[in-house]
Amino acid sequence: MPAARTCLSLVLFAGLATPALAFQDEAQDLPITAITLYRSGVGSFERVGQINGDANVYLRVDQGQLNDLLKSLVVLDGGGGTVGAISYGSREPIERRLASFGVNLADNPSMSELLSRLRGAKVKVQTADSTATGTITSVESVQRAEGDEVVTSYAVTIFTGAGIKRIDLDNIINLEFLDERLRNDIERALQILAQERDENIRTVEVSSDGDGDRELLISYVHEMPVWKPAYRLVLSERGEPVLQAWAIVENTTEEDWRQIDLSLVASQPVGFTMDLQTPLFSQRPDIPVPAGAMARPKMYAGAEVRRLEQRLLNEEAEFVRRGGAIGGSGADRSQAPAASRRSMTLSDSATGFFESAASMAAAVQVGESVVLRIQNPIDLDRQQSAMIPMLTEKVDARKISIYTPSEGGQPMLGVELTNTTSAPLISGPVAVYDGAYAGDAMVGFVPMQAERMLAYAVDMDLKAQHAQNSESSRATYRITNGYLQTSFVRTFTNTYTLRSEAQKKRTVVIEHQPMPGWDLVEPTNGAKSDDGKVRFERTIDAGKTLELKVVERRTESSRYALVDYDLPNLIEQVTRGNGHASDGLIAALQEGAKLNKNIAMLRSRLDRMTAQLDSIQKDQGRIRENMQAIDKTTDLYRRYLETLTAQEDQLTALTAEIEQTRKAIEQAETERRAYFEKLNVE
């Protein structure tokens, strides 16, 4: 860092302000000017403050929030300055970090131990009697008697040029290191030790080089509690209903919020955490050095990034030159409207930045978000929560009763609300007042001009009953391309009976849950809701009863392949079941049954002949085995031979008959298939 550089210490906590470190001079806060809270559990913070010349800004951030800050940090110098590198403390062990300095302070050395480690360092030592300048040569222990005890003390010896001088450490008033590099090492080591007092804190250093006074904007995102809406709906018989909306926000940081421009966003941007602070090392192959000269690596990205950075700075300077209100007019900032009192914001002063980094802004989709900007600046102490009024407007709402049989229970008192306010309604609780507190309701997201129903109390004056009935029509039959198709219509009726004991007319909305795959045929004037229910609105006079029948129908069908089917049984079902089959269809099934019966007879005959053939062949095997064991000149052998001859004649005839039967079966199956495939009878 150049010697002429001004060290402006702005110590921040990402959302938490803490005292500056002792070695940082000219400490100054960079105040929070704007906060945007999201329903996804994050908050966006903007800080704007004055800096001068070459400046450093220190942000002290919680260890758990550092990754969010590294992922989202934006720095803009409003006066044409150049934002430099952003550095932060490594996650390496402190002993390893301190070992890189000229003196090791990790083990909390005593004065004697510290000076022993600094042998050879040039120092200036001042006592009450004298001042000596020289080089530390050693640190010695000195024993002296104090009464009956021996006391050990320490003395440092320095080489002054003219000789060696020993100075008792207890007599030293001031010791100054003359080596600037050593001083810087000790100062830096002490800075690291100060940062490590709280292991959950990391210091992020932001530098910006420039001339004169100018404004610096820092923006970042980190985890925050989800802001919550709460509503009050006041019903009135004489006037229009009034809706009041409040926002509940929590300041869980360690910094008081003062005169903050607060925005509340209903959308839920995609968010994730990523460990960006832990060093990552990649395995590299070990390649032997080739013979000959090696070309040096060539890099182009640095120059391109520098030109982009300079173009952005030029755009900011042009914005200021055209009167971009970076410095303000000097008016009382606390009294200015929220829309104009900030001299610099991320959304207006950073136009060039986001145009050049459109891919970064696209993930946030700010243009599609629902943003609720709190018009007046707010104050909120640290670790405190607040309810902030968002709107109080007249709204279209009418009283109804709501009956939802599928959810069971009693009809409910409710309200049909149309959002005629100037802003969308975010999901949250609604306290309903009807002369007095009447009950609580929940509302989901409601765009402007959209309608929603709210239920806030049980309707004790409305009694409900629910009955169900199912019936089926007579089945009809038809044959098409070898298949018997049967169909019938099932009808399911829900009967809702509502009896009013109220003293005046009631409007009731009955929410019917249709059955999947069924058609709603009666009544036809229902309105379908987003959750699939159908709503029927009816009016019940005082002391009267209302009956609503909701009819649903579905056609059910079955299909049977007639080939190889038990047609006699099917004919009995068709003729005796709850259906209607034509004479032609029954005759067609009977003809098919005859074809099936003929094929079954042929297959039975084939099975008998095949079994007979198998029996003869087994008997021949037995005879041949016996013939091998007897004399060929015997009568038994001669009878065996005659039997084999007769069996061979049987086998020849039987084989021919089996083949003929198989062909007959194939022919019958072909005829049956052709019959059924061309059969179309209703």
569-621 per-position pLDDT tens digit: 777 777 776 667 777 787 877 877 788 888 888 888 889 988 988 998 898 88
Asked if 502 and 460 count as a contact pair (C-beta separation under 8 A), the reply is: no
678: tokens are 């061309």
The token duo for 496 is 């809702």
Q: Is the pTM of this model over 0.85?
A: no
CA 225 to chain centre: 16
Q: How far apart are CA 423 and CA 373, in angstroms?
A: 11
Element (H, E) at 352: helix 351-356
H or E element in which residue 336 lies = none
Q: Does the N-terminal peptide bond of residue 523 adopt cis geometry, omega within 30 degrees of 0? A: yes
Q: Compute the distance between CA of residue 678 and CA of residue 131 in angstroms, rounded to an integer.
A: 125
Please tell me the predicted confidence (pLDDT) of residue 578. 63
Closest by CA to 579, choosing from 476, 479, 471, is 476
Which stretches of the chain score pLDDT less than 70?
1-29, 89-100, 102, 194-200, 268-269, 277-281, 284, 287, 289-369, 564, 577-579
Residue with tokens 């039959």: 477
Q: What is the DSSP letter of 435?
A: S
- Return the structure tokens found at 388: 């902030």
Whole-angstrom distance, CA of residue 323 vs CA of residue 344:
12
**Pick from 262, 255, 267, 254: nearest CA to 41:** 267
Given this model, what pLDDT does residue 5 score?
Answer: 32
Residue 346 CA from chain centroid, whole number: 26
First to last CA, the chain: 99
- Contact present, 668 and 471 (Cβ < 8 Å): no
pLDDT for res 60: 76
